[in-house]
Amino acid sequence: MLAIGTLAKRTGTKVQTIRYYEQIGLMHEPGRTEGGQRRYGDAELDRLSFIRHSRQLGFSLEAIRELLDLSDTPDRSCAQVDAIAQKQLRQVEARLVRLEALRVELQRMIGACNADRVADCRILEVLRDHEECLADHGATA
């Protein structure tokens, strides 16, 4: 059985994050010692590793909740799992398109700046006025 600090180190997850996952129901309430300390086994280690890897791949907490629910019923079709992963892929691809537009705009701004003084800096001009941008790159998260 692992203490929460050991679980955190083994998974690269902060202790506060583990407690948060417990509060929102992604992690099951752990067993406790007579002294009230949380204790985790292999199942919790696997579950937290699953959550952590899913977060690294950009899945939302709600999508992870759905994936965990699906993984808890292994006899079901994985079509729903595939649909969740496909949705995540579409979101990643949309972000890549936005990032490429940002890259192009930043390159253009930097290339257009050949002034010696801040007062004449093209980068600052474009940052002050979004209308100066060639592409609508919108807000980023």
Contact 6, 12 (CB under 8 A): no
Average pLDDT over residues 67-81: 92
66/55 Cα distance (integer angstroms): 13
pTM beyond 0.85, yes or no? no
Span 7-30, pLDDT tens digits? 999 999 999 999 999 999 999 989
User: Where are any strands of DSSP class E within the chain?
Assistant: 31-32, 38-39
Beta bridge partners of 38: 32
Rounded Cα distance, 97 and 20, in Å: 33
pLDDT at res. 52: 96
Domain 1-59, what fold?
Multidrug-efflux Transporter Regulator; Chain: A; Domain 2 (1.10.1660)
**Domain residue spans of the chain:** 1-59
140: pLDDT strictly greater than 60: no
Q: What are phi and psi of 13, to 5 degrees?
A: -115, 140
The H or E element containing residue 18 is: helix 15-23
